[in-house]
Amino acid sequence: MAAEESGGMDRVPACLCVLCGLPAAGKSTLARGLLSAAARLGWRASVVPYDDLIPEQAFQKSMIENGDSMQDMHTEWKTHRQAVLQCVEQFLQRPQLLAELPELSSHYINRAAWEQCIKPLLQPGALDGAPLLFLLDDNFYYPSMRYEVQQVARKYSLGFCQVYLQCDLELCISRNHSRPVSVPTDVIEDMMKRLEPPNPQKNSWERNSISLNTTDSLSDCNIQKVMELISSAMRNPLSPVEDNTEQIEADRLKCATSVIHQADQACRRLISDAMKTAKGSRVPPEHMKSLAAQLNEAKATFLHNLRKQMLQEETFIREEEVDVESVVKRAVDVFEQEKNEILSKIITNEVT
């Protein structure tokens, strides 16, 4: 086991618990309750807050400078999320390296926030043999984001579980507005459209998951329910040996991600061409704005449906066994037809 080779988490019960859901769904509140419950049990526990660890300008650059959508932000943030997990891995291997960050992570992670994150785990009173709990607090709206965490847990034979906080969209938006630093409403709405909650029926690796309705306040019963899930995960750590079913699911996820990324880039080019055509046809500014909104909404819906199709289609398994370029071309042809219809209506002044 990797941990044994590096003198890390050998034989210490440990768990990586993913807290996922929309912004302001209650993840941070739940994390605080779990920290208190873990402390009463004598566990070492820490929250890994992605919002604090990943510099804010990383989000602003993607959202403001490039006008990116959730799909683009997923791609932009991937390196940052991987850096967070690399920090977690290094702690699992060598907890004493508090002052050091892995080479990759040093460029993408807020050092002070990371030191604050693991400080409770290194207190003099913390018992070396005490169970260890990492609560990963992020939106994790795609399964691929959560799967990366599961793979770290598998690599080090740790427990793994997921808690999905289900909350009404309008309530999340209202709570978000009351925060000192809020997420743009359109980003939350877009995330809601793309959010894929844990689905054990489709993904066997998500079987150790529960859903909490956080429209109302979290109760002690909710905290207890999650603690029981975490305890069960610690007692049943993952094995580094993957079964064939899970590998097929992972390969399909990787292939789908590749197709979606390339399709997104192709759709962007088509939208850019459509805007140039409309401008050349002297479409009024207000209609240009409507055209851009309709095309971007059509692209978002198209990519969302394509992703669902890719993950459900049995023929899409390994990326190296699929002609990705051909799949992307066929898919984008469908979007191009819709793009042409929208453009034609705008040019002929039939704005809906």
The SS3 assignment for 237 reads: coil
Span 121-149, average pLDDT: 85
pLDDT digits 0-9 by tens, 7-32: 455 568 999 999 999 999 999 999 99
Domain ranges in the chain are 2-235, 244-347
Band (65; pLDDT cuts 50, 70, 90): very low
Span 246-265, average pLDDT: 79
Buried residues in 188-210 as b, exposed as e (16+ CB within 10 A):
bebbeebbbbbeeeebebbebbe
The SS3 assignment for 165 reads: strand
Band (173; pLDDT cuts 50, 70, 90): very high
CATH class of 2-235: alpha beta
What pLDDT is attached to residue 14?
93
**Residue 185 and residue 197: Cα distance in Å, rounded?**
20
Residues linked to residue 14 through DSSP beta bridges, in sequence order: 132
Of 231, 162, 152, 243, the C-alpha closest to 199 is: 162
Distances 271 to 227, 339, 351 between C-alpha atoms, Å: 48, 7, 17
- pLDDT of residue 88 exceeding 80, the answer is yes
pLDDT digits 0-9 by tens, 211-222: 999 998 889 999
Question: Over pLDDT 90: what percentage of the chain?
Answer: 36
The pTM score is: 0.66
Higher pLDDT, 175 or 5: 175
**Residue 153 and residue 195: Cα distance in Å, rounded?**
23
- pLDDT of residue 332 exceeding 70, the answer is yes
